[in-house]
Chains A and B, each alone.
Chain A
Amino acid sequence: MPLIVANYLPRLSTATLMATSLAMRVGFLLYGIYQDKYMGLPYTDIDYFVFTDAAKFVFNGQSPYARDTYRYTPLLAWLLLPTTYWFEYGKVVFVLCDLVTGYLIIKLLDKAKKNKSWSILWLWNPMVATISTRGSSESVLTIVVMLITNFTLNNQYALAGLFTGLAVHLKIYPLIYIPAILLTIDNLQPWYQPVTRARLVFVLTSALGFGVLTALMYHIYGDEFLQEAYLYHLSRLDHRHNFSVYNLTLYLSSYQGVSSLPLFQNYGIHVEKLAFVPQLGLSMVLIPLKLANIDLVSCFFVQTFAFITFNKVITSQYFIWCLCFLPIYTANSTIKPTKTVLLLATWIVTQGLWLWNAYQLEFLGKADIFTTGIWLSSCLFFVCNCVLLMAFANDLSAQKRTQLHKKKR
């Protein structure tokens, strides 16, 4: 795609990109305040209330887990302590994190000698701006993930490790990046001698970053922290509707207590446990193995996309996890513009179809919509995401061939 589109993409300066993005977010923030005050449907994300309530508990000397459904690291509640006095403070922090993520994307594009204007896919992306200005904390994580990417590409493995530890402490899923990073460090090392000094540094600093923070939080908040922030995610029911293809199966099996398939019943197999196999097999093993040494950022992008596609729960916020890699991936992509438009349109349409069905259920209480509405549309969305993953695989395969061709020449 960039081969053609890049010619039409204006070359904007970093200052212009950052200033316009800031202006856009200020606009969104102000609109959000207006909508919250004057309209029936609130703009502010429900999770933001959870964060700010938890911050109030911390402010009053209590545990953030005193707030029901707070299932994050206490660091987040600490970070948002000033919301006790200024409610919008957290949103401003998230917007700043979202802008810093954009700046790090620009740095990566610069380093790869690509047009910085590709960063508009993040910086001018209304989905990104909406999510951070509604008070979703994903941008705190995207900064850390982009720092990991920057440090890894600059061969600063100790720093990359420390931030990887922090990222996994914040949310478990960045664990999937560890195999890809290890494969790019000393990539000429033969497979039968995997241990190198640099890899060891990365692993140890990752363990240190995660271990110190987790031990500190455990020391302060005890078992409650482990249960709410980590263990809960292994036992959660996930029965309410969401984009995931597994959703209806999980709802029905949570009622029955067992799988409806006799074979699974005989062996006591639960679908929710089985779901990890294709998800982690693809995102944590196969994709890093094949893509890490073609392009690390593209590898991260595809890994994250596969992780979300095969996850037991999917919400719109999850796509922010891979959107931060999109500008760099797109700058290198060879997918044709017409195909890109078609894929993007299909993604939007299938997601829209699911949202329409969810609206019918959630707000209108329409009957008999679970199987023919919600589940079928989540199946279509899943197929669309898989088709996108296929397109990414073919694209990276083409990029690899180009790289080999260049090397031969």
Chain B
Amino acid sequence: MNHRTTLFVYGNEKAVFDALGGKDKIVVPASKASPLAREDRIEIDVSMLKPEYRDILGKLQLLNVQLGRKRNEKPQFTIFSDHESQPAGVRIDVAPQTARNMAQYEKMSQLAVEMVLQLIRVDQNATPYFFEEWYRAYLFEEPDLEVSALRIWNTLVGGAFPFTSAELQQATSVELILDGDKLRFLFYWPLVDHRLEFARDKREIGVFYLDSLPGDYDLSISGARVRGNSKFVPTSLYVNSFHTQLPGVSAEHTFVEPTGLHPKYKVSVSGKNEAPKSTCRLIFDLDIPSTYIVDRYQLAWFDDIFRNVSVFGRSDLELPSYKVSEGCSLRVELGPDVREFEIPLHLRYGEPLRGVKPTGLGTGDLYWDCETDPETDSLIRGSFMHENRILERTHWQMFHIGSQGPNYLEALLPVGDVRESRIVETGTLALVSVFAVWLAKLFWQI
């Protein structure tokens, strides 16, 4: 088992690096005035997992489970852009590598999703849909991160859990990545405002500071690292630059008010949003829960804004939410000069359980999708932190436009009241019967 803790210093780096150390323990200072960002990565060989899951995971080989909490404010920029852009909810992506045909691929994906949902104790039904060679299922409910992480750990790995309960409560996202014969757990804390103490064990700890945002060819970041009883030694970290946050530009994601039954998802870009390279395309990805409808045809009418519109997964345009279990994903390519756009959405009729139902939607991801030149590609591949992360095309590079504000939006859906169904049905039938008989009598008398 490999455990690596990466700490990212936001400011006051001299004080932090000067205070690093400790004999029996490794102490990293942090305070409200000088907070840290923390990512813990634990890698385990699949062969070390409990036998009942070894076979299943061995057959799947590619699985990614993301659990994200709702966030009310924009996190400070760090190198952990994957976590930062992660919307609230549970996302499961699976690509069973041992399936022999498409039917088996789909069936194994469904079983994998069911297995994960059982692991995290979610009794909802989430039918996965096909998305770029993967099957994806999405739950937009905020997960119980502590329970889910502990359940997954105890079921798959067993033994001592590497974090305290207090640590786990403050984590904002957890990711489980199965990549061939390796299983990785990723935990993320965007804001640690108290000093951290680590036992001097096999864990590797790296502390890094970045005074400017990484560019295409400036991938080195200085820091220090330590493992076991050794001293902190200077080191450099290479950003895994498949995903990079674009500096000096941000996007505001909002619903146009009032939302009614037809919310408009508005994205306004502020700052200088220029394509990092000539080969880049501006893309917007949005995961649509089953409570919303996105009409691909309607988007196609706005061809001056949306160049290409793709909806992955089945998106019924009419049924109420209680008759639909699967969501879908929207991907639109925008014109390079677009700075503001609206995605017309529609709310499905909801379960008639009275009043209004808050209907959430994780914010989308706006990014430049660029081809990587061979030089950068080789730098990235040779970097310290480079890992053969799944879900990424190795020959493409994404420049994300960070979002301002919360990572989810909510529309209020008015619903009927099923408790009134007897009154309504009786009233309707009485009215129809009385007038039908009355009219029948009147016409009969002609």
Q: B-contacting residues of A (Cβ < 8 Å)?
A: 49-50, 53, 67-69, 237, 239-240, 245-246, 248-249, 251-256, 259-261, 271, 274-275, 278, 281-282, 286-287, 290-291, 294, 306, 310, 361-371, 375, 379, 382-383, 386, 389-390, 393-394, 396-397, 400
Complex Cα spacing A265 to B306, Å: 49
Bound together, the chains give a CA A245 to CA B430 distance in angstroms of 11
Q: Please name all residues of chain A whose beta carbon is closer than 8 Å to the beta carbon of B444 when the two chains form the complex.
A: 286, 290
A290 contacts B443, C-beta separation under 8 Å: yes
Question: When the two chains form their complex, are residues B438 and A386 in contact, meaning their CB atoms are under 8 A apart?
Answer: yes
Contact of B301 among A49, A245, A248 (CB under 8 A): A49
**Interface set of B (CB-CB < 8 Å, partner A):** 258-262, 297-298, 300-301, 316-320, 322-323, 349, 351-352, 354-356, 411-418, 420-429, 431-433, 435-436, 438-440, 442-446
Most buried by B among A245, A274, A370: A370
Set of chain A residues within 8 Å of B413, measured between Cβ atoms: 365
What are 19 pairs between A and B in contact, CB < 8 Å?
A: A49-B297, A50-B297, A53-B300, A68-B317, A237-B320, A240-B318, A240-B349, A248-B428, A255-B352, A260-B422, A274-B429, A281-B440, A361-B414, A364-B258, A366-B414, A367-B356, A368-B414, A383-B435, A393-B442
CB distance A290 to B446 under 8 Å? yes
**A-B contact sample (20 more), CB < 8 A, given A252-B421, A261-B426, A367-B355:** A53-B297, A69-B317, A246-B432, A248-B416, A251-B320, A260-B422, A271-B429, A275-B432, A281-B440, A286-B444, A287-B443, A294-B446, A369-B414, A370-B414, A370-B415, A379-B427, A382-B432, A390-B442, A393-B443, A400-B446
* CA gap between A68 and B314 in the complex, in Å: 11
- By beta carbon, the residue of chain A nearest B435 is A386
Other-chain residue from B352, B411, B425, B445 in contact with A259 (beta carbon distance below 8 A): B425
Task: Take A251-B416, A367-B414 as given contacts and tell me if A245 and B432 are in contact as well, using a CB distance cutoff of 8 Å.
Answer: yes
Measured between beta carbons, the chain B residues less than 8 angstroms from A287 are: 443
Alpha-carbon distance between A306 and B436 when the two chains are bound, in angstroms? 10
Chain B: minimal CB distance from A386 (Å) = 4
**Chain A binding surface, main DSSP class:** helix
Q: Which residues of A contact B355 (CB under 8 A)?
A: 367-368
Pairwise interchain contact A282-B443, C-beta atoms closer than 8 A:
yes
> Which residues of B have CB within 8 Å of A361?
260-261, 414
Chain A residues, CB < 8 A from B426: 261
Residues of A within 8 Å of B260, CB to CB, are: 361-365
Q: Which residues of A contact B411 (CB under 8 A)?
A: 365
State whether A371 and B446 are in contact (beta carbons under 8 Å apart), knowing that A239-B349, A364-B258 are contacts in the complex: no
> Do B435 and A382 touch (CB < 8 A)?
yes
CB distance from A220 to the nearest CB of B (A): 23
Q: Are B412 and A365 in contact (CB under 8 A)?
A: yes
- Indicate the member of B260, B322, B425 with the most A CB atoms within 10 Å: B425
Q: Which residue of chain A lies nearest to B297 when distances are taken between CB atoms in the complex?
A: A53
Could you say which residues of chain A place their CB within 8 Å of the CB of B317? 68-69
B356 contacts A278, C-beta separation under 8 Å: no
Q: Say which residue of B418, B433, B435, B446 sits within 8 Å of A397 (CB atoms).
A: B446
Residues on B with C-beta less than 8 A from A255 are 320, 322, 351-352, 418
Q: Which residues of A contact B414 (CB under 8 A)?
A: 361, 365-370
State in angstroms the CA–CA spacing of A382 and B435 once bound together.
Answer: 9
Q: Knowing A286-B443, A370-B417 touch, does A261 contact B412 (C-beta < 8 A)?
A: no
Q: Name the B residues within 8 Å of A306 (CB-CB).
A: 439
